[in-house]
Copies of this chain bind each other. A is one copy, B any other.
Amino acid sequence: MKLREFAQQLGLSPTTVSRALSGYPEVSEKTRKRVAEEATRLGYRPNINAVRLATGRAGAIGVVMGRSGEFHFSEFMGGLAERLGTEDIDILVSPMDDKNPTGEIQLYSRLAVSGRVDAVIVHSPEPNDERIALLHKLGMPFLVHGRSDIDVPHAWLDIDNEGAIRRATSHLIDLGHRRIAMINGRQGRTFSLHRDKGYRDALQARGIAFDPRLVAHGNFTDELGFRFARSFLEQTPRPTAFVAGSMMTALGIYRAARSMGLEIGREVSVIAHDDVFPYLTADNMVPSLSATRSSMRAAGARSADLVLQLLSGRPTEEVHELWPVELILRESTAPPQGA
């Protein structure tokens, strides 16, 4: 059913009906109520594409999904969707070919120019991120999940990666650890750099020399956690503690230690960063895993809020949010043996 027919059935003009449904103030309460009721009864729904064309708003926000199967993606999306579900705003997922970074830039242009989204969320930014420059140039509102050093104003929501890892590392040092390995995220991402910094600062504050042979970078997979941990543990002297970038990395470290007959929480300490997943919890691991923790789902939900604010005119410069990260100590951390 279209607006015209619906309006006719009510004996009203399309204009009034449209206004009633969109919550404009100049419609009488009585009319509004009747329109709303009849709309439900007769099943009238505005054609979304006509609305979009007429208003120039897409009623959707875009998220670009990397191919490298990040497992936190669905949690972030879940939060986003949860919050946006109450608004009448769609989430558009576009694929991005990690292997072809040029393609990504084209993708963002397409998203922006074609008018299918009102705003975009950018993930895993780099210090000098082309995407941010592009979106700014195109005048497309966007929120960065993470941060960038780029000299372009951008709204962002990030967790305090630096502080989290600094605290985690400091805690290990407090326990007496001196050889602390770090398995970080992909080289070049801002969050990896921040974590590197937190790690180095903690060491430096206690006069511990930074040893590049104890630091690795890569995707957050169980496999890399295992391989890096193995190779670190084969060094002499071996590290007595690990700082891990993700839950999956931690799984790999646990396996590596176990495969070498080392007991986690006694011979090897581990602190990982936990994005909080319903299907894999630090508390349930054996031994339970000490972790820096911040909910990815909450970040998704809050991102939705911030994008909405951006769209309703809140200035970019005001939209900066840095979340503190909890440090939760469990059984996987203890003083090094002999300490």
Contacts and interface: CB of A to CB of B under 8 A. Distances in A.
Interface in A253-294: 255, 258-259, 277-281, 284-286
Complex A-B, nearest 6 residue pairs according to Cβ-Cβ distance, in ascending order = A81-B95, A49-B52, A69-B278, A85-B95, A221-B279, A73-B74
Contact of A115 (B49, B116, B221): B49
Given A116-B90, A248-B279, A223 B78 contact: no
A81 B70 CA distance: 14
B49 A53 contact: yes
Contacts of A213: none
Interface residues of A, number: 59
Given A114-B48, A255-B284, A279-B222, A82 B95 contact: yes
B114 A45 contact: yes
A49 to B, nearest CB: 4
Contacts of A255: 284-286
A13 to B, nearest CB: 21
B69 A95 contact: no
Interface of A: 43, 45-50, 52-53, 58, 60, 65, 67-71, 73-75, 77-78, 81-82, 84-85, 90-95, 97, 110, 113-116, 219-223, 226, 248, 251-252, 255, 258-259, 277-281, 284-286, 297
A284 B226 contact: yes
- Kindly name the residue among A49, A91, A93, A219 whose own CB sees the greatest number of chain B CB atoms within 10 A: A49
B280 A258 contact: no
Contacts of A45: 110, 113-114
A91 B90 CA distance: 10
Contacts of A278: 68-69, 219, 221
A251 B280 contact: yes
A116 B65 CA distance: 21
Contacts of A81: 65, 93-95
Contacts of A115: 47-49
Nearest to A62: B90
A95 B78 contact: yes
Contacts of A77: 65, 73-74, 93
Contacts of A65: 74, 77-78, 81
Nearest to A255: B286
A196 B18 CA distance: 52
A2 to B, nearest CB: 11
Among A45, A70, A280, A286, the one with the most B-chain Cβ atoms within 10 Å of its Cβ is A280
B92 A47 contact: no
Nearest to A248: B279
Nearest to A252: B284
Contacts of A251: 251, 280
Question: Among the interface residues A219, A255, A284, which one has the most CB atoms of the partner chain B within 10 A?
Answer: A284
